[in-house]
Amino acid sequence: MPRTDVAAKATPLTRLRRRPDRGAYDFAALAAVLDAQPLAHVGYAIGGQPLVTPTLQWREGSRVYWHGSAASRMLKAAAGAPVCLTVSLLDGFVMARSAFNHSVNYRSAMLFGKAELVTDPAAKAQHLERMVEGLFPGRWNELRPMTAKELKATAVLSMAIDLGSAKLRQGPPKDEGADLEQPVWAGVLPVRLVTGAPQDDGKLKPGVSVPDYLTRFSFG
């Protein structure tokens, strides 16, 4: 997997960064955020109107993928159009001694590019297998194969990971001077995503038990 220098290509967009000191323009930082959180928010611009939709993403090497219904006009409109795919993890509330210095700890990846539609049915099935196996290793082969009709009804989109930025903030608040004399609690209230106990649907065949990949699942 090539390490892509996203910094070099991101020049036209650097002016949009909010906090230059929080930028991290390397592939490894971007990939780490994508791999830690499947939920993405994909932004399209349709006739000048921004549209932000939540969807699951998965990474294969230096590309990111997402999918949806082939009947979706939005996904059709996205093919070949500029998109922004953002993945964020809220890691904590940073409680400072002044309102102004309050912040959040977070990790985020923002990717820019043109969405490409995967058209070959076999390739589509392979990408969907990677999605399922990336989340729940071993599950794909427990399922019956996808039908041609199901593959036709599924749109898979992808984008190269070569323009974007990763940002993060970690650590305690940064109070200074007289603010440190304030008799108020300061620190971090950590936040994380967790999974609960798997809830079966009451229709399991005899002998089917909770698979290991569910109890082992965790967000990064």
CA distance 163 to 6: 5
121 vs 173 by CB, closer to a copy of itself: 173
- For residue 53, the minimal CB distance to a copy of itself (Å) is 7
Show the CA angle centred on residue 132, arms to residues 71 and 117, nearest 5°. 35
Of residues 17-76, those binding a copy of itself (CB under 8 A): 18-19, 39, 41-46, 48-54, 56, 68-69, 72-74
- For residue 14, the minimal CB distance to a copy of itself (Å) is 11
Instruction: Round to the nearest angstrom and report the end-to-end CA distance of the chain.
Output: 21
Q: For residue 61, which of 128, 109, 125, 2 has the smallest C-alpha distance?
A: 2
Of residues 172-211, those binding a copy of itself (CB under 8 A): 172-173, 175, 179-205, 207-211
In the set 70, 98, 117, 169, which binds a copy of itself (CB under 8 A)?
Answer: 98
Q: For residue 80, which phi and psi values (nearest 5 degrees)? A: 85, -5
Span interacting with a copy of itself, options 3-11, 22-30, 58-66, 105-113, rule CB under 8 A: 105-113
The answer to whether 186 and 97 have CB atoms below 8 angstroms apart is yes
Q: What are the tokens at 217?
A: 């699942």
CA distance 54 to 86: 10
3 vs 102 by CB, closer to a copy of itself: 102
Q: For residue 181, which phi and psi values (nearest 5 degrees)? A: -85, -10
Decide the pairing of beta strands 63-69 and 154-160: antiparallel
- For residue 147, the minimal CB distance to a copy of itself (Å) is 8
Q: Is 128 in the site for a copy of itself (CB under 8 A)?
A: yes
Within 13 A of 7's CA, how many CA atoms are on the CB side?
9
- The amino acid present at 185, given as its one-letter code, is W
Of residues 132-171, those binding a copy of itself (CB under 8 A): 132, 135-136, 139-140, 142-144, 146-147, 150, 153-154
The answer to whether 22 and 108 have CB atoms below 8 angstroms apart is no
3 vs 114 by CB, closer to a copy of itself: 114
Span interacting with a copy of itself, options 9-17, 21-29, 57-65, 116-124, rule CB under 8 A: 9-17
- Total number of residues that touch a copy of itself (CB under 8 A): 96
Q: Is 110 in the site for a copy of itself (CB under 8 A)?
A: yes
Q: What are the tokens at 150?
A: 């199901």
28 vs 148 by CB, closer to a copy of itself: 148
- For residue 167, the minimal CB distance to a copy of itself (Å) is 9
